[in-house]
Structure 1
Amino acid sequence: MRQKDTIFWVLDFPEHIIHEMEQSLPRGCRLKKADTVSDINLNESGILNTCVMFLTLGTFKSLKPGEREILQQHHDLQKVFVLDSDEGIQGLDFDQLGSFLDMVRMPLTRDSLAGIKAKADEIQELYTDLHLMAREISLERELLARKNVQLEFLNRILTRSSASLKVVEILKVVREEFAGLVEAKGLAAVFWKKTDVRGVVTAEVYLPKMEPAGLIKSKWIKSLLDMPGRFADVRVRDYQEVVLNCPANRIEDEPVPTRQVVVPLQAGSIFIGAVVIVAEKTLRLGRDQLQIISSASNHLALALRNALKYRNIKNEADFDGLTSVYNRQQFDKRIRIELKRHQRHANPLSLIMLDLDHFKGLNDTYGHIAGDMVLKKIGNLLVETVRESDFPARYGGEEFVALLPETTEDQAWLLAERIRKKISRTVFSYDNNKFNVTASMGVACLTPGPLTPGETLVKQADKALYLAKNSGRNMVCTSADLCLGEAISS
């Protein structure tokens, strides 16, 4: 390390005095000459060196206000006033002189200069120590501030993620909170589980809305489906895609590892999924950031596991276990709600009741496993065909229903006919056997009044279904057909 020097600046000194000072300089001192205040350049002196300015009282008094201000701004420059041998200090305005290191009389000897050097070095070391202490305090404050921000982040994400039992809502919280931590622009996620005793693994992939058949989307799905193998050493057999609609959640580029934070979700000893935070640019995370992400991941895993369990339990309560459409209990609840709503607004409410033809014979011929396969397919076909506002459900056995809000009987008949044709054209395959099935359907519609019984719509649709069964099957009958038949028979 280079030895520190003490730099003596002299301002407007005669040449012979400068020469005398050069002859008397103590070891470790250098002399620099300045004709005006603006000539003083402390950067040339070096930041490690002690700087002292020698000037006479006469020179100081002759300085203009602006020059004195410049001199005062040089905080690292210690002033020494040089007095003539017979010059007195009575009547001096010390407030006007400002802070200074010392006053010395001519001539400037080696001993007097050495004393000034020692005093200046001591004060400089004190300044340096104070500066270092201030810097350390500043760094400590900065570190504490960062820790405080990170703890606030952790507290927010723990509190907000615990407040919901909906997977999508928790992922929205993660997206919002991580946006400030790593400047995230997007979020994706994958969850996996074993679905049966054979160990078949299925997954759910959460992505923002993207081009359906785009290459970028395909690469993201592949990247996410690789994670079960990476973390849990399992291979996904099938997956379901879920659109994650979060405000400002966007993924526009293919996966780039250096722009991602992959947060594995481990509940106990079991990995249940992973969340991927996508940043705008290459990430360089500090150790404290990695620690806070690790801490957050532990709680997020528990929150998301609870949300997934709650959803599964709710699905078991709300949906039919075989066909994955709503069950009879949920249908009974929904029809009561829709009847009350349609009573208020006096709008038509329609119901389609569907029964598979000769289903017992199908079970007897191909077996109950084939029958279950047919029921699953019919459930999927029903969900795919009805509108998003409609309510498809399994009514019992081989019977299905679809509740159609604000739909006339003619409109309901058209939808039922479309469903019937789809079913009759579908080729089912089981154990190297191919076969078709047909369905009979009953359609009913009413505009409920204040006193309309809740079971009226179901009874009318059931009667229309009975008519379709007795009229040759594989057809759609409506309550209007039923009324027409009753009128003819009477």
Structure 2
Amino acid sequence: MTDPTRNINPGRLAILLKVGVRLTAERDLERLLRMIIEETTAVMDADRSSLFLIDGEKGEMWAKIAQGVEVVEIRFPLGKGIAGTVGKTGEVINIPDAYADSRFNPEFDKKTGFRTRSILCVPMKNMSGGTIGAIQVLNKKDGLFGADDEALLTALASQATVAIENADLTTRLRELNLSLEQKVRERTAQLTDANEQLKDLNRELETIAITDGLTRAYNRRYFMERLKQEVKRLSRYGGTPMSLFMIDIDHFKKVNDTYGHQAGDAVLAGLSELVRSKLRDTDIFARYGGEEFALIAPETDHAGALVLADRLRSMIGQTAFDHSSRSLKVTVSMGLATWTTELKDDFEKLIGLADAALYKAKESGRNRVCW
């Protein structure tokens, strides 16, 4: 899966990163939704933005906030209109002339006096690939929305999705805390049990925050934090170097195209479980993006890393992953880089070395380890 931020120029990317920090810091859902819309309008240089979430039980999309108009709550069927179509298909829609597109509903313009010219609408997808809503921007101020705008809004939608899911978890935890407090007042004899439940939920929340939902590997954000820490520790105190592995499933698109995305998900989850079962507690195995994984192996020099990498590569290639009475086999390519004192605390350069090695493995025929 391609990282959408790769297509964003550095200036806009810097703005995006700052927006992401602000969004993830807000845990009140309604304030967060308004913040997302305001930030989106500013970042995209648009006249107006809207955010719609999917109500799966009712098969509808809804919004409590639509910038520029007073809205209590609006609902419409999933699949209707531009946002409804994006919510249903999970595909980006970029319309240069709204009134020339049959999916556009002009009633909103008629009621408000607003004139919609161009529309860009992207899906909001969670870490499991499911669509939870859509973000829509109207009327770019200096022309039409282009491919760079699509990449920027897609990346912003990803950040918004993480922030919304975190805020939703926080809201649910807060509601549970209130409920537990009432129960404690009513039945103090159950205090111990209630506290244990709260601890379990906190542990679950902490786990969810750092874990990829599909593969149960660590998520990319946690991986980056740990890599920074490990490189900084080595730069300051030295010791046995650590090694970084970038792991990519070969021809993974063929698995999805031939057997379907559920089969692809089964391969991702199975591969992750297999690798994690063979690693040390100190190793950090993460889903880096799409079919790409990353592994931090502390206290592992280059020679030891080569042995581990080839053992994992061979083991994966020999394992059949079961899905719907089928046994699917895949191979992986690996790029390996080991920290040296010359790198100091430059973790990004270490990633670059591992990425370059992975590219070399792919270009050399796949199903191999390069460094």
Return the TM-score normalized by structure 2. Answer: 0.48
Return the TM-score normalized by structure 1. Answer: 0.37
Q: Which has the larger radius of gyration?
A: 1
